[in-house]
Every structure is written in C-alpha cells, then in structure tokens.
Amino acid sequence: MIAFGQFLEILIGGLLSGVLYSLVALGFVLIFKASGVFNFAQGAMVLLAGLALVRTLDFLVARGLPFWAAVILGVVFAAAVMAIAAFVIERYVLGPLVNQDGLTLFMSTIGITFVLEGASQMIFGADNYPLRLFPTDAWFLFENQFPGGILVSKLDVWGGLIAGVLVTALAIFFQRTKTGRALRAVADDHTAAQSVGIPISWIWFVVWLVAGLVALVAATVWGTKLGVQFSITFLALKALPVLIIGGFTSVPGAIIGGLIIGAGEKLAEVYLGPSIGGGIEYWFGFVLALAVLMVRPQGLFGERIIERI
C-alpha cells in the first residue's frame, strides 16, 4: 500500500508538472498551426510577459493600490506590451518575409529571441522577481487510504485548470471562428490565402498576439513557481519534446505530450535514476521524443503532410 501510494504521488505530480510544460508548448503550436513558423522566441515571450507583469505589480502595490486591483492592471499592461511586441514583429520582421521559405522564417525568430531577451531585461530589469499569484503550498489527499497521504501541489492543480481552459478556448477559436479558419488557410499556403483576399499582415498580427497572451498565462504560473528570471526562457527547450510527441499542429497534442513527458520524467527519475545515475529527468524527454520521431515523425496527434510533385 505504501509503495502504491508513493507511485501514485509521483505519477500525479509528474502529470501536473507536464501540464505546466504544455502551457509553453501551446504558444509554439499556436504559431506553427497558424503560420507554419516554428517560433523559437516563445520562451523569450514568456520572459517579456512575466517581467512586464511582475514589475507593474510591484510598482502599483508599492504605491498603496490593493493587490487585486494591481493584478488586474498588471495583466492589462502586460497584455498591451505583448500586443505592441506582436505589432512590431509582424510589421518589421515577418511582414517583409512573406512567402519566404520556412528556414528563413525560423532564423528570423532566433533573432527575435535575442532582441526580446535584451529589451525586456533592459526595460524591466534582470533580477529574479518573485511572483505570487497562486498558492504554492500543497494538499495531503487520501490520508485514510495511504500512510501520510498523497502530496499534491496546489500550483500544479491551478496550472492544470488553466491549461484546460486554454485548450478549450483555442480549439473553439480555430474550429468555430472565421479568423481561426483564416489562420489555418494562411498556414497551408500564404500565396493562395492572399489570392482569396485574406490579409496576411493582419492574420500574423493576430496569431502573434494570441501567442503572446498564452505566453502571459504561462508566465503567471511559471513565475509563481520559479520567479520571473532570465532562465525562464529555457522553458522553450523543455517544451520541445512535448511538441515532438504531441505534434506541432495539435493543440490537444500539446497537453497529451506534456502529460507523457511530465509523468515519464518523474517516474524515470525515481525508479530508474538510482540504477543508471541522477539527472535522468533532464534528458529523458528528449530520448522519448527521439523514439517517437523514429515511429511517427509528425507526432502522435500531428497532421500527416503529403507533398505532391
């Protein structure tokens, strides 16, 4: 019973941690699904959104504004910052590169990464800023069934609830709205989309804006977990195996991939780590992603791409 309780605690903790990875992966999926561009700058967007939020929150609270009002105004300001960033990226970076090949667009997002990292730290500061929007303590569940109960982080549960809401909203956006269908058309073929009157510049602004808002949501959770700091940009690397497993074009796949990676990392660290060495959670996800690539290159839920010559 004790062994099963330990297993259940590790599994639940891993699944909930995987959902936090999915919050970052959703931004990648959104931009790739809507524009066909792999956005290497998603981690930097999380950093920018988090810094804008936490610095505004600190400024307003220090001047006597109630915390809840400061949070609302901070979120609004951070969303405005992400809207400005989306406009600048579309107007001065992606706009001139319409109809260029995917490698060119990918390289442009690498440049965007360094610009966002430098600009965000230059404007808002480069320290580690604590952010406390969600509870960070834990519940002890099933104490009658298992000795000591099962430890469940409240922050991870909040992250799971937020991810569920985001997936539902994005699925409705892509499937039920005119703008969502236009985004998918642009991803399939820029030239064909332009020929039927879809404004590429507006579509790319919308998708980068929505991805920026997703980055803001991810920043609220990860900022509470780790603090808002430069290392938060490396979440992009943690999200990469999630994308590979779930599929670059699937919103639900980002969640499923995150659950697989999160649970796999925690279970491997506890049950395989003692026999093969520590640190397995840092590379387990990439090994698992490589195995999926060998069997199903488009991921478990990705769309199979068929090119006709």
pLDDT single digits (tens) 257-296? 999 999 998 888 888 877 776 678 788 899 999 999 998 8
For residue 196, the SS3 value is coil
114 Cβ contact partners less than 8 Å away, ≥ 6 residues apart: 44
Measured between alpha carbons, how far is 33 from 248 in angstroms, rounded to an integer?
A: 7
The answer to whether residue 143 scores a pLDDT higher than 80 is: no
CA angle, corner 266, sides to 264 and 270, nearest 5?
A: 115
Tallying the residues shown for the chain, one arrives at 309
Sequence-distant (6+) residues with CB within 8 A of 166 are 23, 26, 214, 217
The answer to whether residue 307 scores a pLDDT higher than 60 is no
Q: Compute how many other C-beta atoms are within 10 angstroms of the C-beta atom of residue 74.
A: 24
The answer to whether position 43 is within a domain reads: yes
Radius of gyration of the chain (CA): 20
Q: Identify the pLDDT of residue 72.
A: 95
pLDDT at 7: 84
CB 271 within 8 Å of CB 287: no
Instruction: Say yes or no to pLDDT of 136 above 60.
Output: yes
Q: What is the pLDDT of residue 68?
A: 92
Determine the pLDDT at residue 101: 80
The residue segments making up the domain with residue 193 are 2-232
Domain membership of residue 203 (yes or no) is yes
Name every residue whose Cβ is closer than 8 Å to that of residue 182 and which is 6 or more positions away in sequence.
Answer: 193, 198, 203
- Looking at residue 52, its amino acid is A
**Contact status, residue 236 vs residue 27, Cβ threshold 8 Å:** no
Question: What is the rounded CA–CA span in Å between residue 59 and residue 74?
Answer: 9
Query: How far lies 235's CA from each of 20, 23, 69, in Å?
Result: 10, 10, 29
pLDDT at 305: 59
Mean pLDDT of the chain: 85
Q: Is the pLDDT of residue 233 over 80?
A: yes
DSSP helix/strand/coil, 177:
coil
Please check whether residue 111 lies inside any domain of the structure: yes
Average of pLDDT values for 223-235? 87
The per-residue pLDDT for range 163-218, each reduced to its tens digit, is 888 888 887 887 788 887 777 777 666 667 777 777 777 888 888 998 999 999 99
Q: Do the Cβ atoms of 211 and 31 come closer than 8 Å?
A: yes
Percent of the chain's residues with pLDDT above 90: 32
Residue 169: inside a domain: yes
CA atoms of 169 and 189, how far apart (whole Å): 25
pLDDT at 273: 79
Ranges assigned E (strand) in 92-239: 138-141, 150-153
Is residue 164 in a domain? yes
Q: CA 107, CA 38: separation in Å to the nearest integer?
A: 9
Identify whether 99 is part of a domain: yes
Q: How confident is the model at residue 144 (pLDDT cuts 50, 70, 90)?
A: confident
In a domain, 294, yes or no: no
Q: What is the mean pLDDT of residues 137-150?
A: 77
147: pLDDT strictly greater than 80: no
Number of domains forming the structure of the chain? 1
Q: How confident is the model at residue 188, as a pLDDT?
A: 67
What 142-149 contacts at long range (C-beta under 8 Å, 24+ apart), as own/partner pairs, is 142/5, 145/1, 145/5, 146/1, 146/2, 146/4, 146/5, 146/8, 147/1, 147/2, 147/5, 148/5
What sign does the dihedral 171-173-175-176 (CA atoms) show?
A: positive
40 versus 194: the higher-pLDDT residue is: 40
- 300, two tokens: 């478990």
Q: 23: closest CA among 280, 282, 231, 251?
A: 251
For residue 67, tell me if it sits in a domain.
yes
Check residue 2 and give its pLDDT.
Answer: 47
| Rounded mean pLDDT, 31-36 | 78
